[in-house]
Amino acid sequence: MHDEYRTVAREAVHETEINRSRFLCALAPAATEGEAQDFVARIRKEHPSASHNCFAYVIGADAGVQKASDDGEPGGTAGVPMLQMLLRRDMRYVVAVVTRYYGGVKLGAGGLIRAYGGAVGEALDAVGTLTRRRFRLATVTVDHQRAGKIQNDLRSAGREVRDVRYGDAVTIEIGLPDADVEAFTAWLADATAGSAVFELGGEAYGDA
């Protein structure tokens, strides 16, 4: 598994103009290929009179799903450079649609490649990206007496507290980088006089 990847925090549109053609790059986070395809369909519906609505998306922390479309532009001049820009920036779980309104001046193959790839790069710069890092999910079970202090200590140390459940004892779900597991278990044993139960779970990604 990859230790980290980047994605966009929100939907956004960024516009550039090249030789009188307007290029509108719409970006959005997409958790699944279905979400990416729905976003592409929505943008196409919003711009029915556009010359082209080209797209690229990358799904999976390992970039396992990659798709691109030139939507009528010469083969390899739109979708592929858009996809390459996303991959070059280590973007994952993201979809980009570049809508072109033709301005009457032909750009040529090289110009199109630069325009479509550049539209995605400029949009990423304008919107900003998030880095998500791989965490191990873990649970800490402590008695009610110690729970409040442990939660405060976790938060002040910048630990990601994902969930807290109250029952006979208090179960706190956290995210830990793999490298921190050993030091964390030692700290927890010390902080709770060995009374806490610590269990490691599966893997997930969270904000860095």
User: Quick one: pLDDT at residue 37?
Assistant: 98
Total number of domains constituting the chain: 2
| pLDDT at site 1 | 53
CA 45 to chain centre: 25
- Are 186 and 154 within 8 A, CB to CB? no
Residues 185 and 152 both lie in one domain: yes
Are 13 and 112 part of one and the same domain?
Answer: yes
Q: Kindly report, residue by residue over 139-171, the tens digit of the pLDDT.
A: 999 999 999 999 999 988 888 888 999 999 999
- Do 72 and 158 fall into the same domain? no
Helices (H) and strands (E) in the chain, counts: 5, 10
Residues 110 and 13 in one domain: yes
Phi and psi (nearest 5°) for 189? -60, -40
User: Same structural domain for residues 36 and 111?
Assistant: yes
pLDDT attached to residue 202: 83
Average pLDDT on 122-144 reads 92
Same domain assignment for residues 48 and 135: no
Domain range holding 176? 131-207
* pTM exceeds 0.85 for this model: no
For residues 83 and 176, which has the higher predicted lDDT (pLDDT)? 83
Q: What are phi and psi of 149, to 5 degrees?
A: -65, -40
**Mean pLDDT value across residues 115-132:** 95
pLDDT grade for 208, boundaries at 50, 70 and 90: low
Are residues 139 and 181 both part of a single domain? yes
Q: Do 24 and 115 have their domain in common?
A: yes
For residue range 172-197, list pLDDT tens digits in order: 999 888 788 899 999 999 999 999 99
Other Cβ atoms within 10 Å of 88 Cβ, number: 11
Mean pLDDT of 117-131: 95
The pLDDT of residue 114 is above 90: yes
Contacts of 189 (CB under 8 A, 6+ apart): 196
Asked if 119 contacts 98 with a C-beta cutoff of 8 angstroms, the reply is yes
CATH of the domain at 84: 3.30.230.30
Distance CA 80, CA 70 (A): 8
Q: What percent of the chain has pLDDT over 90?
A: 78
pLDDT single digits (tens) 29-68? 999 999 999 999 999 999 999 999 999 999 998 899 999 9
pLDDT above 80 (res 9): yes
> In whole angstroms, what is the distance from residue 57 CA to residue 202 CA?
27
For residues 148 and 159, what is the distance between their CA atoms, to the nearest angstrom?
Answer: 15
CATH of the domain at 143: 3.30.70.240
Residues 87, 147 share a domain: no
Residues 103 and 139 in one domain: no
Using the predicted structure, report yes or no on whether residue 108 has a pLDDT greater than 80: yes
Are 115 and 199 part of one and the same domain?
no
Which of 97, 127, 157 lies at the terminal end of a domain, its last residue?
127
Query: Which of these three, 96, 127, 158, is where a domain ends?
Result: 127
Q: Which of 104, 127, 150 is the last residue of a domain?
A: 127
The token pair that represents 139 in the structure block: 């649970």
Quick one: 186 and 162 in the same domain? yes
What per-residue confidence (pLDDT) applies to 53? Answer: 98
